[in-house]
Structure 1
């Protein structure tokens, strides 16, 4: 696997699935112009960061206690669609939350789905990804 930083061109439509442009949606969070106000918004922005290979944002939005040293991107994998299945907590007035999602991807020409229940918490007021359980 080779590591890339922002190696993919920025898309017009936001990869997270919201009906907004990338620049008006997750791009604002990736650039630091805005901050996620809910755990779901952070989850969507992290999916988009994987789609555009934004390692800096992924590391910045990862809980310091569980954050890896770096993020390796598989150049043969593309993240195509995000479906939010459900969530608990994670609102503007919560300190913890979960988001269950299905992330659709294509790798080596084959379609696949990552189904995960992710945990989020606030760290100094900002939502961060803590960890997740992959559903099989």
Structure 2
């Protein structure tokens, strides 16, 4: 299974350790096309166009999209929208922080499976349950 993992890169650097742990977990279910999301450094050698084209190609190539949507991100929202158009199965994970939840546009979309989690163990349980049926 090819997995496209999506998370806020430029606005979500505080979550890179979490992303890295989720990516490590996802590797037991298949190939994670976007391991760089869990890196603390941002690749500045690619143009915006190259990043866009590569990521859209990876979404097309993927069997499932997993999006960590706690930190709002235009890029993650764009990827989710493209994945919906491509009829990809999409799992969104989010945490409620300081009483703030994720977007109603995400939680209210019937084409997404959205799950709230409070810690990494709960997120891993959700992934295990959801991915064993894919």
Fold agreement, TM-score > 0.5: no
Report which of the two has the higher share of helix: 2
Question: Normalization by structure 2: what TM-score?
Answer: 0.31
Report which of the two has the higher share of strand: 1
Per chain length, whose mean CA-contact separation is higher, i.e. which structure has more relative contact order (CA < 8 Å, sep 6+)? Answer: 2
